[in-house]
Each structure stands twice: as C-alpha cells, then as structure tokens.
Amino acid sequence: MVAKRIIPCLDVKDGSVVKGVNFAGLREVGDAVEMGAAYSADGADELVYLDISASREGRRTFVELVEKISRRIDIPFTVGGGIASLDDAARLLGAGADKVTLNSAAVADPALIGRIAARYGSQFVVCAIDAKQVDGVWRVMTHGGTRLTDRELYSWAREAAERGAGEILFTSMDHDGTKGGYPCAVYARLCDSLRIPVIASGGAGSVADIAEVLSAGKADAALAASIFHFGEIPIPELKRGLLARNINVRI
C-alpha cells in the first residue's frame, strides 16, 4: 500500500511565510527557508511553497529563494506562483525545485501543462486548483483567489490530468484556514474521477480531520498550514495518530 503523505504548505509573500483565513487577513508567521528546514527535520514527506501574490502582482517566484531552500532541506518540494511559461518552470526546476505547480496560468493557457510535462515529465507538474461554491457549483478561482472563472472543479481537474498534470492540488477556499475539516465528499468524488494523485488542502484542524480526508476523502496526501505553523499539531504526533487509525504513513 502506498503511504499517504503529509505536506506542510508555506504561503510566501515577499520572502516570508504568511497565513490567513479564506485567503484573506494574512499575517506573517516566519522565514520561508528556516520553517522549511524545520519541517524537513520534523518528518514532513514533502513541502509546497506558494508565492501567493506573484500572479496577482505580475511577479515571478523568486529563483533565489528556491536555491536557498534546496540547499537546506533533503525532502521533495514543490514551488508555485507566477509560473506562466516553460522558461519560468525551467528556472525553478533548475534552481532545485522537485516539482512546479500551475494555477492561474494553466487556466488561462491549458496547453502550458502539456508543454511542461512534455519537456520534464508529468511527475514534475502539479495543477493547483482553488475553488469555492457559487450557487451550489464548485467554481475555479485564479489570481490568489480574487478572480472567478467559468471553470468547474471536476471538469477542470479531468482536463488538467488529460493534458499531462501528474497531481492535482485542490484547495477549498470555503474551508481554507478555518480548521473545521475538509469537504471529504468533494475529495472522494474528485479522486474517483481521476487516475492521478490528489492532494487535499483547506480545513485541517485536528488529527481526525486529516485522517478523514485520507480515508473517507480518498486523498493521497494532506496539505496543511495553520496547524503546523502555529505548533498546534507537531508532525510526529500527527503521524502517530494516523498510524493508530490504520492509515499508512512514513515515520
């Protein structure tokens, strides 16, 4: 049985890690490099760094930051934010990132997924999807959750997979930062409709929440921020709790 992954997410703005609720009310919580190194030492399986202001402000993810991270940690890490071309992806992968994640640019130019996958392989491409419910439909948002699109979650995820994405990272904007649990029925439906791994993001508040999304929600990995950033659930404690619930994780 493939082990489920635990992935701290570090939202980065101007080189610092920030966190908010429902993509708003951001506050600074620490240094991006130092926090990543601490999570690596603590037993995280992977890390995700998202430059959350890059797309909205028209900036590229800082290659220099990726180089610093790659020198400090020894676990895989994914970088996203402002990646709008094959050259952008090449610079980040060349700087030491193990994967890149595409969001706003992929919605605007879906063929970008295939171009990067054709060059580097699907395993290097994660399609991040931010979505929220609008009139009962899970609608895709872009540019840091500020722009509503006409895309629908399930159909866009299937298209992204068909175009070459190796993983889907779905964040529920309705649950992000609330610590009230993941929308597990949504994740289960999404996982059933895809043949690639799904990373669950948005709503982790307890060991039970993460256990539920990895079991009932069928997610391959759980991504969380607040509970790790503020020391509420240390990663070793989380993994022991998951093992006690018969969920296979690496210790």
Q: Which residues are catalytic?
A: 11, 130
Question: Any idea how long the chain is?
Answer: 251
Q: Report the alpha-carbon distance of residue 117 to residue 111 in Å, rounded.
A: 10
Helical (H) or strand (E) element with 21: strand 16-21
Question: Could you give phi then psi for residue 21, rounded to 5 degrees?
Answer: -130, 130
The owner of tokens 């990663």 is: 235
Q: Which amino acid, one-letter code, is at 63?
A: V
Q: Which residue(s) pair with 223 in the sheet? A: 7, 201
Q: Report the alpha-carbon distance of residue 96 to residue 198 in Å, rounded.
A: 23
Closest listed residue to residue 12, CA positions, set 47, 45, 54, 46: 54
User: Maximum Cα–Cα distance for the chain, whole Å?
Assistant: 46
Q: Report the alpha-carbon distance of residue 89 to residue 119 in Å, rounded.
A: 10
DSSP symbols for 227-244: HHHTTSS-HHHHHHHHHH
Tokens of 42: 């603590």
